[in-house]
Structure 1
Amino acid sequence: MKNFPIVCVGGSAGGLDAYIRLLKNLPADMGVAIVIVNHITKFPTLLHEILPNYTTMPVDLIAKNLMIEPNRVFIIPENRDLHVQNGEFRLEPISKPCGWPDVITVFLRSLTRHWDGKLIAVIVSGYDGDGAAALCDIKAVGGITIAQQLSTALRPDMPVSAIDTGCIDFILSPENIAQEIMRIAHAEA
């Protein structure tokens, strides 16, 4: 089954606070896959060790050819681009090794080409503007786009860049993002 919604939560600096606040408010059985794309390049991610403390959903560090399943949280490993194909995650060497990474943009664009289910793109706290360049593409395929409310973001650069695209449907706190995801998931069921 590859027609369930995927929620891509893209963030960076300050993102951990948003991920925790979001996951604490999501039920484990809403039928969506949560993919956290944190653009880290230099250090190993620890999100797959930290976030299980805040959700009852299984939390997996993405490995080669891991199947995408609902009611799970998936974490991108550091220094990789993430793609989807045939219902599986595909990891590639990072395409932009210098400067600010664009791993969120890469993943969102892959979703627009290779995922049949509903797409929800969420941009939370972080530096730079990763993800913003793909938000209009998400909307073009019928997806929903959400930016973290600036006053709730520790580093608002990424949400500001997302809002500036003009392709954001909702600007919400992490707790209200969780409510909107649940609303969309129930509408899809």
Structure 2
Amino acid sequence: MAQAARKASTRKARTSPPQDEREPALFPVIGIGASAGGIAALQKFFPEVPADSGFAYVVIQHLHAEHESVLASIIQRSTAIETQTAAEGMEVEPDKIYVIPPGVSVTIQGQRFHMAKMAATRVKRTPIDDFFTSLAQEQSEQAAGLILSGTGSDGTIGLRAIKEHGGLTLAQAGAEYDGMMRSAVQSGMIDMV
């Protein structure tokens, strides 16, 4: 009996797809990129989101690497959805909001977060592009990218990847700081503003 179980287990292990060929999660994962003015936009956005949408939300906010972030607690005050700071290896689950910690570049693979310390401050940092690009590869049509208030162009390359993999791309209308939104819209890759 034990030998038969071992054979079945070995056969199952051989037929499991490699981690990079796994199916996307059965629920949508929404990446939300923000910078200057983003906290106010997030405080307006999340009260409108149903607590049982079945989606996972990942917030990538440009934050100074040296400062501890209280963004998760700020968002939690405006929503009933469980909000927490993402950590290395944490599994992404539906009906939760994850906030990316400062000073790291985060990707998603195998429905888990993976973090790498960001390069020196003189190098242009693009944490939104980094996450959106990995989200597109992981989730395909089950991915969505949303750009909120912010300056610069971070997020535009990642939105292109999401669009090319069949996902949904959105940008905030009337953003307090509209640089990131304008860059995204001018790319021609936005489904809805």
Scaled by the length of structure 1, the TM-score of the pair is: 0.85
Corresponding residue for residue 174 of structure 1: none
Preserved CA contact (<8 Å) 2:140 2:167: no
Aligned length: 169
Structure 1 residue matching 2:97: 3-state secondary structure: strand
**For 1:149-174, what per-residue CA distance to the aligned partner results, in whole angstroms no more than 9, with x for missing partners?**
1xx21111110111111100101xxx
In 2 relative to 1, CA 13–103 (structure 1 residues): closer, same or farther, beyond 3 Å?
same
Corresponding residue for residue 73 of structure 1: 97
In 2 relative to 1, CA 96–13 (structure 1 residues): closer, same or farther, beyond 3 Å?
same
Corresponding residue for residue 3 of structure 1: 26
Identify unmatched segments of 5+ residues in structure 2: 1-23
Root-mean-square deviation (Å): 1.5
Identify unmatched segments of 5+ residues in structure 1: 172-189
Preserved CA contact (<8 Å) 1:100 1:128: no
Structure 2 residue matching 1:153: 3-state secondary structure: coil
Q: Does 1:21 align with 2:44?
A: yes
Rg larger for: 2
Aligned-pair distance for 1:115? 2.7
Aligned-pair distance for 1:28? 0.5
In 2 relative to 1, CA 44–168 (structure 1 residues): closer, same or farther, beyond 3 Å?
same
Q: Does 1:34 align with 2:57?
A: yes
Scaled by the length of structure 2, the TM-score of the pair is: 0.83
Preserved CA contact (<8 Å) 1:147 1:170: yes
Greater CA drift, 38-47 or 19-28: 38-47
**Regions of 4+ moved over 3 Å:** none
